[in-house]
């Protein structure tokens, strides 16, 4: 065992939704908090120590359409640019059953079960494994009790519909808060570590 941590990053509404009822593009209750000072510090925090990014197909394609341009933009906020450069340069695993070609450089496509692949990753290499805003990957890791740290940005709105991160039937687990910061708009960046 290498001591690698499996971490996950996700923004949630007060009612626990990671997007609204109109589907994955329904980010109205979250997007206005994504560029606050607290959110930008949080974005820096999530990548510190992470040497592997794990993404679902939808996020990999969406991020590809956004972050590389930020990495190249000298006028972008330095924290956004730092995250973008990290994401472009880091080793990436993209879980997909439909992609036939990796959408990024330094990317490996994976079709095997999430817990199996992440457990193998954890057993080799160095640095944190960051599951980056992909609920489709985070959920099976919660079910398999493989997450060691959660970076959550809680947005002070109720979406009223849409999928939740914490579904019924998860195995019981206990978490310790290791960081907490609240911004002017009421957004809260929080870091939880799994107690084992």
Quote the percentage of the chain above a pLDDT of 90.
88
Q: pLDDT (tens digit, 9 = 90+) per residue, 142-157? A: 999 999 999 999 999 9
Residue 2: per-residue pLDDT: 60
pLDDT, tens digit (0-9, with 9 covering 90-100), for 48-94: 999 999 999 998 888 888 999 999 999 999 999 999 999 999 999 99
130: left (phi over 0), alpha (psi -120 to 50) or beta: beta
Contact 91, 52 (CB under 8 A): yes
pTM of the model: 0.94
Task: State the pLDDT at residue 3.
Answer: 80
Report CA-CA distances (Å) from 11 to 72, 154, 166: 25, 6, 13
CATH architecture of the domain 6-195 equals 3-Layer(aba) Sandwich (3.40)
For 164, which DSSP code?
B
Neighbours of 195 (CB within 10 A): 8
Burial of 31 (0-12, 13-18, 19+ CB in 10 A): exposed
Strand 50-56 with 128-132, pairing: parallel
Q: Dihedral (C-alpha) 181, 137, 195, 173: value to the nearest 10 degrees?
A: 110
- Per-residue pLDDT at 173 exceeds 80: yes
What is the full DSSP assignment across 39-57?
A: HHHHHHHHHTTEEEEEEEH
Distance (Å, whole) CA 94 – CA 141 = 15
Locate the domains of the chain by residue range: 6-195
């Amino acid at each position: 065992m290498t001591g690698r941590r499996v971490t996950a990053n996700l923004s949630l509404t007060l009612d626990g939704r990671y997007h609204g009822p109109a589907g994955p593009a329904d980010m109205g209750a979250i997007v206005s908090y994504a560029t606050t000072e607290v959110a930008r510090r949080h974005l820096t925090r999530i990548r510190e120590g992470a040497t592997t990014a794990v993404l679902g197909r939808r996020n990999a394609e969406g991020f590809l359409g956004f972050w590389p341009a930020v990495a190249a933009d000298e006028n972008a906020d330095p924290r956004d640019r730092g995250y973008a450069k990290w994401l472009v340069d880091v080793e990436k695993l993209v879980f997909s059953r439909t992609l036939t070609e990796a959408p990024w450089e330094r990317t490996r496509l994976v079709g095997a079960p999430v817990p199996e692949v992440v457990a193998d990753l954890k057993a080799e290499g160095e640095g944190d494994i960051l599951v980056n805003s992909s609920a489709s990957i985070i959920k099976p890791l919660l079910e398999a009790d493989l997450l060691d740290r959660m970076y959550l940005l809680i947005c002070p709105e109720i979406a009223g519909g849409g999928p939740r991160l914490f579904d019924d039937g998860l195995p019981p687990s206990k978490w310790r808060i290791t960081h907490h910061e609240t911004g002017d708009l009421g957004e809260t960046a929080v870091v939880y570590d799994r107690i084992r």
